[in-house]
Structure 1
C-alpha cells in the first residue's frame, strides 16, 4: 500500500551532533606573579650585582681605579640597571608561571587581565627591593679580595652617590613596569600555549625587554649624563 509507513525511517536513530568545543578556562595569575617576583628579584639581584661588579672591576683595572668600583657601580645601579633587574625578575616569573599554567590545563585557557595593573604598581617597589641585593652581590666579591673591607666599600659609595641619584630607581621602575604591563596584556595568552617551549618564550620575553631598556638608558645618558 502507498500509505504504508516506512517504520525503518520513522524509527531511525537521530544523528548525533558534533561535540561542542570546550570552553577556555580562565586564570588570573597576577597576584602570584607579584608575590613570587620578590624572591626571584633577590636572586637576580645577587647574580647581576656580582656579574656587573666583575665587569666594572675589570674595566677599571686598566686605569688602576678598582677602589672606585663600588661607587661607580652603585650610580649605574640607581640610574639604570637596578630597574632592569627588577623587570627581568618579574618577566621571568610571569613567563614561567604562565607557561606552567598552560601545561597543566587540560584545554585552552584564557588569562584574566583584571589585575594586571598590580604589576605596574609593584615594579617601583620591586626595583627598590632588588637594589640592595645587587649591592650585596658586589660586596661579597669585594670582600673576597685581599684588601677589600666593608668600610672602604661604603666610603666609595659616599664618594660617588648623590641624593639626586635615588630618584631614578623608582622612576625607571615605573617606566619599565608600564612596558611590562603592556607586554603582558598583549602576550600573556601566547605564553600559555603548548605549541612553544619554555626556552623560546624566555627568549622572546628577554628580547621584548632588552630593546626598550637599551633605549631608556640611552635617553637618560643624554638627558642627564653621569
Structure 2
C-alpha cells in the first residue's frame, strides 16, 4: 500500500536538470599575431622583393637596367613594397592564428579585442623589418642575374635627394594600411575562427579585403605625392 500513497509534490523525485551549455572559450590572439608576424615578414619581404625586382627587370629591359633597376627598386621598396609586405605578413599571421584557434576549440569562441591595437602599433616596426629584406631579395636576384657587386647595387639604389621623401610616403601608407587591417580584424575575427569555412577561403577573403583598399590607397597617395 505504500506505493499507492500520494505524498505530495514535496516528496516527488527531483527532475533531472538540463545539461549546461558549454561556456565560450575566450581567446586573446593579438599578442601571438604580433609575435609571429615578424618571422613571417622576413619571408614575405624576401619573396616580394625578388618578384618586384624581376618585374622591374622585364619592364626596363630595353633601357639601361644595371643603373635603373636598383634605383627604381629602392623607390618601390620605400614607398609601397615594404609597407605592403608588412601588411601581408600581419594579415597572413592573423588568419592562421585565428583559424587555428577555432579548429582547436571544442565549443564557441569569444574573441578578446582589448589588445587589437597592438597590430596597428606593431605595423611600423614590422615595415622597418620587411624593407631591408625586400632589398635583400632584390639584391640576391640582381647578383644572380648580373654577377655585379653589392656596393654598386646599394650605391645606385640610395639617392639621398629623394630617399627621405619616399620613406615618409611609405610611413603614411603604413599608417593607413594599419588602420584598415586593425578594423578588419576587429569585425572579422569571429568569422576567421569559424569551422564552417576552410583556410583557403579565409586567406582568399583576407587577400581580397586588403588588395582592393591597397590599390585605392596607392592611387590616392600617388595623387597627393606624385613624385
More divergent stretch after superposition (73-82 vs 97-106): 73-82
Is the CA contact (8 Å cut-off) linking 1:52 and 1:73 kept in structure 2?
A: yes
Counting matched residue pairs gives 223
SS in 2 for 1:110: strand
Residue aligning to 1:164: 165
Post-superposition shift, 1:64?
Answer: 4.0
Residue aligning to 2:113: 113
More divergent stretch after superposition (109-118 vs 65-74): 65-74
TM-score (norm 1): 0.92
Post-superposition shift, 1:166?
Answer: 1.4
TM-score (norm 2): 0.91
Cα distance in 1 between the residues matched to 2:194 and 2:146: 51
Post-superposition shift, 1:29?
Answer: 0.8
More divergent stretch after superposition (162-171 vs 19-28): 162-171
Post-superposition shift, 1:175?
Answer: 1.2
Residues 136-183 of structure 1 deviation map (CA, whole Å, 9 limit, x = unaligned): 000000111234221221122134843211112222212111111100
Post-superposition shift, 1:81?
Answer: 2.4
Residue aligning to 2:49: 49
Give me the CA root mean square deviation.
2.0
Q: Where does the alignment leave 5 or more consecutive residues of structure 1 unmatched? A: none
SS in 1 for 2:60: helix
Residue aligning to 1:70: 70
1:101 to 2:115 alignment = no
- Structural mapping, 1:10-159, within 5 Å: 13-159=13-159
Is the CA contact (8 Å cut-off) linking 1:124 and 1:169 kept in structure 2?
A: no
Q: Where does the alignment leave 5 or more consecutive residues of structure 2 unmatched? A: none
Is the CA contact (8 Å cut-off) linking 2:81 and 2:131 kept in structure 1?
A: no
